[in-house]
Structure formats: C-alpha cells, structure tokens
Structure 1
Amino acid sequence: MAQSEVRGEAPAAGDTMSLKPQASDASAGTGRRKGGRRADGPKTDRRRRRRRALRWSAIVLAVLIVGTAGAGYLYYQHLNGNIQKGRRNSADDSKAHRTQPNAAGQTPLNILLIGSDSRNSAENVKLGGSRDHRGDPPLGDVQMLIHLSADRKSASMVSIPRDTRVDIPRCTDPETGKVYPAVNDIINVSLARGGAGCTLATWQNLTGVYIDHWMTIDFSGVVRMADAIGGVEVCVRQNVWDHPTASVPGGSGLRMTAGTHKVKGEQALQWLRTRHAWGSDLMRARAQHMYLNSMMRTLRQQNVFTDTGRLMNLAEAATKSLKVSEEIGTVKKLYDLGMQLKSVPSDRITSLTMPNLTDPLDSNHVVPDKANADKVWQMLQDDVPFDKNGKDSGAKKPAPGKPAGKPSVEPGRLGVLVQNATRTATEGPVPQRARAIGQALAQQGYVRATADTSGTLSEDRTVVRYPSADLRGDAQAVAKALGIPLNAVKQSTDVSGVTVVVGADWRTGTTYPEQAAPKAGDLPQGSDAVNGSDTTKCMDVYNIYRW
C-alpha cells in the first residue's frame, strides 16, 4: 500500500512515493530530490521529529489513562466487595410515613446507626470481652437516628438508650427465615430478632418517622474508622479509669488524665463503650454524641481528597467496617451520603437523647417520657430543626390528605369499627375508650358504629383506616365528624372496613384535640441536647472511677 488509509495519520518513513513536494518547499530549497529521494532541510526534520514525539506521547498517555482507569475500576469493585448489605426492613408492617417534600421537591433523609456488640470474630472478642458470648446473636447497644433536613442545611441526631422497653414487632430474619413474634422488651434485643431491619422497624413503629437506611458497625469497625480519621478529640473533667469494682464488674478499661485528648484505635472504642465511669447509660449516650460531633468537625477540617493515601485508607476502613441496607450498598452512594453530612455546618448539628423515665416494671430499664418524646418525634416527622441557627428547611407539615371524596352510603348505613389503642409503655389503656368514641359517632348519625372488644392496641396517634378506594370518602366523612384531620385518614389492607383507631394522643374527650405545631429549637425537657459546634463540653467522672 503506497499511502496510509488512516485519516490524519502521517506516511511511513520509507513511503517516498507519497511525499509530494509543496510549492513552499521548492521556494525554500528544501524540496529537491537527490538520487531519487527527497532532500529535507533541518526545519523539516525537526517538524517530523516533533510530530513523531507528539504521536508517541499521545499513545503513551492513552495507555496510561486506560491502565489507570482499569486499575481504578478494579479498586472500585474491590471496595464495593468489602461492603456487607442486608434487607432494609424485616418486619411485616410499618406505622411510619414519609415526610412530604418541600417546595423544591426535597425530602428529609433518615439513617439509623446501630453499634453492634457482636463477638463473632477473634478480633471482636479481643476488643469486646468475654469469649463466652462468641456465637451469640449481636445486640444493638448503640442506636442513633441521624436526620438530614430536606434542604441538607441542618442535621439532628437522636439516641434511644439500649435499656429502653418498647414494643418490638413481628420480624423475620432475612438470612435464616426464622420468624420472631412481637414482644415487649428492651430495644437492644431487636437486633437479635431479625437483624438491623427489625431494629429499624421497631424505631419506625415507636417514632412514626420513616427511616430510609440503616448502618451497623461492630467493635473492630470502630477501631478501624478512628485510626483512618486520625483520631477524635474528647474531653474529661477529672482523671478517669473505667475498671471493675467490688460491686460493679466489667468496665471498658478507659484510662486517661483530665483534659482534652485525641483518641484513636482501641481507646476510641473504650470511650464509646464507657458507662460506669460516667454514672449511667444515659451519660454514655452524651459521651457518644460528643464523640460524633467531634468526628464530624474533624472530617470537615480535613481535605482527604488531596491525600491519596489517606483517602484510600479511609475508603478501606469505611467499606470494611460498615454493614448497610442494600439500597445504599455501593461506594458511590456511601460517598454521596458522606458529602451530604459533611456539608452541614457544625452549629446546625444537634444531638440529644430521647426523653425517658424509669421503667415502672424494672428500675434498671427506662421507658419513653411520652409527652416529651412525642414532641421530638413530631419535630423529626415535620422536619423542624433542633437548632435555632438557621432558616426552616421548607419541608411541609403533614400533607392535608387527599381531597375529600364523596361518601358511598349514608352515615346510618355505614359500619364503623372503633378500636382502643391508647395503651403506652408507661400507661395502661383508657377503659371504655372505643365505646365512648363509638357513642360520639352514633350522635353524628353513624348508628352502626361499634367498639372492638377483641383487645387493646398501642398507637401513638389516632388514625382512620379504610381498605379500598371506594370507601375513602366514607372514611374522610367519619374523620370530619370527630374533628380528626384528613392527613390521619389512611388506606390500609389491615382493615376490612372503615376503622377508627383511637391513639394515645386522644385519651380524653370526644372531639379530637388540635395539635400545636413544634418550632425550631423548641426542644423538650430531659433531652440533654448538645450542639455540634460546642467544643467546651467535657464528661464528668463518677467519684469511684477517678484516680
């Protein structure tokens, strides 16, 4: 072949027939032939060498790009392979509903962080104590809901103490298929009754907050993450040593002098697990909040993306340490989550512990302080910031419900079932509550309203349920008759007809009470709130653990 067939490619060095002289070459004296070959001048030689060098540079660069991209892809796949995943929800039902979007179409994001006490590895046994517990189902000793506002400009973190007695729903273990019946027990056992998906369902049913994702981390994961970050600053007011005593066995082993320290590795785990030295499990939650706030400040100050080695270490640690719900089980999705969290200013992050009371059935346990806890849950549902340092996110309050439909029958012909769901963890059901509301309905013309006598239920909020779209108008009319807002009218396959479920928010009276809308920063008493920008907080040490 006398000439290259590749468009734009220079002729081969020996392809003399394809080198046609140009007019400019003749006038410059560089295009003449000697002995049948072209005699090029020094400028042409330099141009040819430059073209050849550029061509080889382009080839080498292309090889490097492809090779690097291939290695990057393989590393990305390696990181994805590190991540353990599980089913988001392992319960049969949920009482939670998503918060309505704001004017920009944004919705809040809720992530449940669970610290597992699993000892099912040599590493965890070494870090977490007794070998006798190796093989036992893990317990969720740390449980914290992270709420990102719809506009991603504020964040709230809420802990529930591990010894809080709650209703745990019926759950199915997604790995074994074992079914666990509903039970009233302390919340940390929910992890052993169907995995993180059961803990998520327990939280949803308790709070009414829809939870998008869960993440779990065990002892060894905490150590890896603390090391990858480079340490987290914490503070104690007195010298502390959390060690066994004559009356109280166990202890985390945390030992440090008064003041501020940067903890990493095993010492970070000791800080998060310390309970006795702080005086109670509630104070342990405060120490955990302080740690997380400090960690977020540290990450905001660091720019790991300019340090390839640190970025890789952090990526390795994170993907090896976390087990996540399957819908966020990729590096990209975890990275996006991290960037959203990192973008929140420190003074717009507020952490607190669920307001609680001593359990009347067991002084070693606690139960939700219903009125104050409900206020916290309402703020999360309505996307109301825990702080007063910025504007409202713009998220809407609960939607007004679907437009009123036309009832299918006259009130006197409609069968309505009324259920008593006023029982709470601290209070028994209000006697004859379903009967009283049924009578109120009868006075409004719903003479076929009857009270369900099969037993009492537990619902935080009153709701009117209906089974199919043709009964929506009837259900809305029943709600209107009782003063119940339309956003509390829900379609559900759990009922066979229009059903009024009288919740714990309506224990007296026959007209549904109006609910006051919560305001930003208006936190209830007993929440022990800590702002993320507060660097002055230090933990007080219980007397017998000072040295």
Structure 2
Amino acid sequence: MAQSEVRGKAPAVEDAVARTPAAEGAPAGHGRGGSRRRLGGAGTDRRRRRRRVLRWSATVLAVVILGTAGAGYLYYQHLNGNLQKGRRANGDDSKAHRTAPNAAGQTPLNILLIGSDSRNSAENVKLGGSRDHAGDPPLADVQMLIHLSADRKSAAMISIPRDTRVDIPACTDPDTGREYPPTNDIINVTLARGGAGCTLLTWENLTGVYIDHWMTIDFAGVVRMADAIGGVDVCVNQNVSDHPTATVSGGSGLKLTKGTHKVKGEQALQWLRTRHAWGDDLMRARAQHMYLNSMIRTLKQQNVFTDTGRLMDLADAAVKSLHVSEEITSVKKLYDLGMQMKSVPTDRITSVTMPNLKDPQNGNHVIPDEKNADKMWRMLRDDVPFDKNGGKPDGKDGKKDAAGNKPDKKPSLDPAGLGVLVRNATRTDAEAAVPQRASAITQVLVGKGYALAQADASGSLAEDKTLVRYPSADLEGDAQAVAEALGIPMAQVQKSTDVSGVTVVVGADWRSGSAYPKKSEPKAGDLPENSDAVNGSDTSKCMDVYAPYRW
C-alpha cells in the first residue's frame, strides 16, 4: 500500500491535499495519524514521515513540471504570435534557379538580411537622427546574403553596397497592391518599391542565386539584439569620431579611442551605420562584416544555444526586432536556422563585398564589376566554398555537371513533340549580330531530336548571356531539357512572360560554335581580388579611420 502511494502520482497528490495543517498537528489518538502512532510505535511513525515527504516531493515535482511545461508552451506561443512575417517575393519574374542537391541530397540555404533605415517610429527617429525623413518609405541601406553550404560545413556573407545601380524588376506592394514598373536605379530603393520581397527579387535577377528567405531589421531592432547578445568586440587603428564636418553633414556619433572595444546597444548601431569615418560605403561593409564575425565568435564562446535563459532572451529580442519571410513559419524554424549557422566553424565563414566599379553615370554610385561579380555568383550557385579550409562539395554523383548543375524538373513532352523558338541576340554595343546565328543553333537542336525547333526571323536582339526562357511552370522541365541538350547552365533557364513557349535566346557569350562555351570550374577560395574577403576566425583586423574623423 505504501509503495503504491509513493509511486502513483494521483494518490500522492490527493493524499497530500487532504492533509491539512490542523490534521497533521492533531493530538495523539485523534484521526488516522494518531491511531497509527499508537499501534506502530516510533518505527512506524518514522516510516509515515518518510512516506509523507516522498508524497509531498512527488506533488511539488508534478506541479513544477506541469507549470514549467505550461509556461514554456505559453511563452513559445507568445513568441510565435509576435513573429512578423511577409511575402517571400513581391513579383513573379525571377531569373534564379535552385542549386541541385549534392550526393547526400542536401541543398544550400540562402538568406537575405536587410537593414532598413525606417524612421516610422519615435524610437527609430531618435536613433536615426533625422527627423526630416520621419514617415518616408524605408530604404534598404544594408543588404547581405548569408549562404550556408549544402553540407553546412562552410558559410559566406556577401554584401552589395547600397548605392549600386542595378536593374530592378517589376514589383507589387503586398499591403497596398500598388504595382511598380521595372527601372534602373540604386539597389537600396527596392525596399520602398514593394518591400523586402522586391529586394529579394532584385538580388535573384542580378545573381541567378535562389534565395530561400529574407529578414529585415531596423535601427531599434539592432539595438535590442546587440543588448541581448551582451556586447561585441570591435577594433579601430586610430581614435575615431564620426561627426558632422564643415563639408559633410550627418554622422553616426560613434566615438572610440584606438584599440579594441566591446560595443552594444546604441553604440553597436553607431558602428554599423558609420560611413564617413571609414571613408565610404565599401569600408562600411567591411566594418559590418567584422562586427558580424565577432558576434558569431561571441555567441559560440557563450554557448548561448545550450543556455536556456540566454536563448530565451535572444529569442524575445529576435521576434521583436526581425521581420521575416512567410516560409519561416515559427520561432522553431528561426531557431533551427541559428543552429545551422552555429555548426559552421568560424574559419569556414567568409565575408565579402560584391566586386564593383565606379558608375560612369554618377561618381557617387557603383555598378557591378560583371566579370568578377559573375565569378562570385557562379561560386554561390555551384556551392563552391569561399574559403580554402575544407574540401570541395560533390555533386549528385560526386562530380559537378559541366553546365553548373542538372535539371530538377521532368519534361512534359518528348523532344520530337516540343516546339522551340531560337532567337539571335548576339548583337552588342560594339559588334553587330552574327548572321544566321539562330538558324545554326536551330540545326543543332534538330540534330538532338527537337524536330519542331525553328529560328525566329523577326530580327536580332541584344543579350549579354545566352538564356532559355519558358512562359509557365508546366514547361519548366522542357526548358531545362533543352538547356541540358545545348550545354547551357540551369541558372540561365528563366521563367518569362515575354515568351509563349520554350525559347532559346542566343546571347553575345555564344557568337560561334555549336556547343555552348564551357567555363573553367571555380575552385574553393578562388575569390576575385576586389572582393575584400575577411575570414570569420581572423581577430587581427582593425578599421582604419579616415583622417578628418580622427581625434
């Protein structure tokens, strides 16, 4: 009987609740306790007290477990309820293609981190220091792609300077329904032309890299996250004061002495926003990379992912600070992303800035350095590590497809029954179109079984790169099969509303020959020299301060 009462939770709870203080303190001979004392003597009394202690312990334990589980569940629901979400892409004309799985069936993960300069709250106006822009549409002043390799053994952080002039596709604001036509402008305006989904779509069309998620954070969010982390070490080679000068207005307010400092809260925001004291936007990107690398090292040292209290603080700060794409449906998914980043060693994390050139139309802007930037984008699409500290990932069969990756969709028709239109787009600003180029590639397709292929006689176009376009999802597999037959990379297969069927657009990169020109395979760590690469384990880097801002 006693054994049953100790092991069974329900009897223990019931008995403990029934025993009131008055009953426990009743005189001998009254009630059940007194009766047992007389009959069993001192030994029985000791056993009774032990049973009572065990029953009380079981009761308390049950309450604690149920209470903790309930509080944990409620807190989890609270976090999920505060997680702000939005549409992943605010347009349909994406030129990106998912990277094919590796031999283990794994695929890379790409997340676009966007820092907004929004001043649509009193807190952000105060931190941003510019009341004149209160209520203006936000600009994407920080844009950084976080790439996790398929095997989760390496990672890269790639920045595009905010004043980079690019082609921006048509976008639709998900809240108002307002449609924005395509334009050519600096990339930071994308956030004001349909939100983060428009920024993501612009990145995809520029890079050909499929982006899984986006996250945005504003001034106040940076401060909250920096406080939750507890501070991050940064370093300057000279005393710095980023303040207004006689010739340049504004400034972040950052003021530090030479050496290493732990910054958090508003001072962390100042570090991330500083531009003039570093010299330009390109150096600001370097300072941001140094901060993030230091933050990752700090989190790893704190073992924050195994410290429940610290993790809850960070989770609470994250849901208050981040606005995420709709595929991140819960705090658990956000946590899982963090755990995947945690698994990457710091010496396998590389931060870079997109290779760029001065914009000939505006000296204050830059444009992509196409040759070097395209090399970097191809490394991302092929999941080639940016560092040299690990092995090269394998493809599906242990080898990379010569075209860059393989089809991942099945064709809906046999080649003999598929109509394919071939267009000549070999014209450039410097050279005329190659005569009969569309006809020559049409014959190649006919020889590969595409009997219905025909050349477009409507005139020549101008495209830098050869593309295979298709109008709807049901023809994606067919377009991929055509690309594979011609040796064209899958990243150059695009959905487009400008075509009515599968269309091969022969670009200026294929002005001769019957096979698409093969490019040499990129090697791990073979980054362009002007990418300003910083390794995540390098603690020796300090920022140089532009002379007018030294003190």
Give the TM-score range, shorter chain. Answer: 0.7 to 0.9
Partner of 2:330: 330
RMSD of aligned residue pairs (Cα, Å): 3.4
Give SS of 1:151's match.
coil
User: Which is worse superposed, 68-77 or 169-178?
Assistant: 68-77
- CA positional deviation for 1:110: 0.5
Residues 203-352 of structure 1: pairs in structure 2 closer than 5 A? 203-304=203-304, 309-352=309-352
Partner of 1:408: 416
User: Which is worse superposed, 74-83 or 191-200?
Assistant: 74-83
Partner of 1:418: 423
Give SS of 1:39's match.
helix
Gap change, CA 1:422 and 1:57, over 3 Å in 2: farther
Residues 133-144 of structure 1: pairs in structure 2 closer than 5 A? 133-144=133-144
Partner of 2:183: 183
Partner of 1:89: 89
Give SS of 1:364's match.
strand
Gap change, CA 1:429 and 1:285, over 3 Å in 2: farther
Matches of 2:489 and 2:519, distance apart in 1: 10
Matches of 1:436 and 1:344, distance apart in 2: 51
- CA positional deviation for 1:509: 5.8
User: Which is worse superposed, 113-122 or 336-345?
Assistant: 336-345
Matches of 1:145 and 1:296, distance apart in 2: 16
Is the Cα contact below 8 Å between 1:91 and 1:197 reproduced in 2?
yes
Are residue 392 (structure 1) and residue 392 (structure 2) matched? yes
* Match of residue 534, structure 2, among 517, 530, 533: 530
Residue by residue, what CA displacement relative to the aligned partner does 1:429-458 show, whole Å, maximum 9, x if unpaired? 86436x6421323555688411554965x6
Matches of 2:389 and 2:71, distance apart in 1: 45
Partner of 1:499: 503
Matches of 1:417 and 1:266, distance apart in 2: 57
Which is greater in Rg? 1
Give SS of 2:174's match.
coil
Matches of 2:382 and 2:333, distance apart in 1: 25
Gap change, CA 1:504 and 1:68, over 3 Å in 2: farther
Matches of 1:516 and 1:471, distance apart in 2: 27
Partner of 1:512: 516
Matches of 2:274 and 2:53, distance apart in 1: 65
Partner of 1:432: 433
Are residue 542 (structure 1) and residue 520 (structure 2) matched? no
Gap change, CA 1:503 and 1:285, over 3 Å in 2: farther
Is the Cα contact below 8 Å between 2:467 and 2:494 reproduced in 1?
no
The letter for the 1-side match of 2:406 is P
Residue by residue, what CA displacement relative to the aligned partner does 1:504-527 show, whole Å, maximum 9, x if unpaired? 644666642112111100111210
Residue by residue, what CA displacement relative to the aligned partner does 1:196-247 show, whole Å, maximum 9, x if unpaired? 0110111011111111111111111111111111111111111111111222
Is the Cα contact below 8 Å between 1:418 and 1:501 reproduced in 2?
yes
Matches of 2:86 and 2:36, distance apart in 1: 77
The letter for the 2-side match of 1:535 is T
Is the Cα contact below 8 Å between 1:469 and 1:491 reproduced in 2?
no
Matches of 1:310 and 1:442, distance apart in 2: 62
Residue by residue, what CA displacement relative to the aligned partner does 1:387-425 show, whole Å, maximum 9, x if unpaired? 010122335544433789743259xxx6624153887xx
Is the Cα contact below 8 Å between 2:383 and 2:393 reproduced in 1?
yes
Give SS of 1:526's match.
helix
Is the Cα contact below 8 Å between 1:472 and 1:491 reproduced in 2?
no
Partner of 2:55: 55
- CA positional deviation for 1:365: 1.1
Matches of 1:12 and 1:139, distance apart in 2: 65
- CA positional deviation for 1:316: 2.1
Is the Cα contact below 8 Å between 2:422 and 2:442 reproduced in 1?
no
Partner of 1:21: none
* Match of residue 455, structure 2, among 430, 449, 465: 449
The letter for the 1-side match of 2:375 is K
Matches of 1:136 and 1:470, distance apart in 2: 42
Is the Cα contact below 8 Å between 1:464 and 1:475 reproduced in 2?
no
Gap change, CA 1:451 and 1:129, over 3 Å in 2: farther
Partner of 2:30: none
Matches of 2:170 and 2:493, distance apart in 1: 24
- CA positional deviation for 1:534: 0.7
The letter for the 2-side match of 1:370 is E
Gap change, CA 1:116 and 1:86, over 3 Å in 2: same
Partner of 1:118: 118
Gap change, CA 1:483 and 1:68, over 3 Å in 2: closer
Residue by residue, what CA displacement relative to the aligned partner does 1:173-205 show, whole Å, maximum 9, x if unpaired? 111111111111110000111100110111011
Give SS of 2:200's match.
helix
Matches of 2:157 and 2:15, distance apart in 1: 69
Structure 1, gaps ≥5 residues long: 14-34
| TM-score relative to the length of structure 2 | 0.84
Matches of 1:469 and 1:176, distance apart in 2: 30
Is the Cα contact below 8 Å between 2:427 and 2:461 reproduced in 1?
no
Partner of 1:20: none
Gap change, CA 1:388 and 1:451, over 3 Å in 2: farther
Matches of 1:478 and 1:290, distance apart in 2: 41
Partner of 1:22: none
User: Which is worse superposed, 471-480 or 215-224?
Assistant: 471-480
Partner of 1:372: 372
- CA positional deviation for 1:493: 6.9
- CA positional deviation for 1:384: 0.5
Matches of 2:362 and 2:316, distance apart in 1: 43
